[in-house]
Amino acid sequence: MKDAKKNSIVTLTPAAIARIEDVLKTETGVLGIRLKFAGKTATEYKTQLALVRKEDETAPCKEDTVVPAGSFHVYIDAESLPFLKGVTLNFVQEGHQSGFRVENPNKPNIQDPMVYKLQKFFDEAINPSIASHGGFIELLEIRGDTLYVHMGGGCQGCAQSQLTLRQGVEKMVFEAFPNIRQIIDTTDHAAGKNPYYQKH
């Protein structure tokens, strides 16, 4: 594992540390928390927060960057690090609602107006409908009339993902953007619980 100085990668506010330590008091076998890149919108990168246990899919690996925080550690995998470096994790209470809030100084740099419009379309028209299943679809790039996407979260490895793409997403995209005639899913759905994609 690659150690990092406190606050050089991620900053946790006192409120966030206190809340996490409260949670850990009721859990066994938990080493800390994992911050993971969970896709992007047209304006921001999204972050997933999970407890890290010794013997499950969240378990630490040698490629993780590890940041000490209070009585626990924060783990960030190598693929997520470029998107999450410099984030601040806070725990906020507003009225009767409370929760963790991630402030990320890193922002998507979308230069192509067409890519921006498509990403906004995915943010507003497509991803909300599949978020209930824990999934999201991320726009990677446009080549000619072909749109390349990555299906993440609950969509990875899901048997219904291609049905969702072909019968739902394609119809919506083709109607809104007639210049797009093909959508290619680059996700490796056969890789089990930890699928990955390769951009060619």
Q: Are residues 129 and 94 part of one domain?
A: no
Q: Are residues 48 and 126 part of one domain?
A: no
Q: Are residues 92 and 119 part of one domain?
A: no
Predicted model pTM: 0.70
Instruction: Provide DSSP, 3-65.
Output: E--TTTSEEE-HHHHHHHHHHHTT-SSEEEEEEEEEEE-SS-EEEEEEEEETTSTT---TT-E
- Tell me the per-residue pLDDT of 10-61, one tens digit each, with 9 for 90 and over: 999 999 999 999 999 998 889 999 999 888 888 899 899 999 988 777 788 8
Count CB-CB contacts under 10 A for residue 190: 7
Strands (E), 54-96: 65-69, 72-76, 87-94
Find how far residue 70's CA is from the centre of its chain.
25
Number of structural domains (the chain) is 2
Pairwise pLDDT comparison (146 vs 126), residue with the higher score: 146
CATH number of the domain enclosing 75: 2.60.300.12
Query: Which residues form the domain of 131?
Result: 113-191
In a domain, 178, yes or no: yes
Q: Are residues 87 and 155 part of one domain?
A: no
CATH number of the domain enclosing 137: 3.30.300.130
Which two three-digit tokens encode residue 137?
């679809």
Question: Which of 66, 38, 67, 58 has the alpha carbon at shortest distance from 136?
Answer: 38
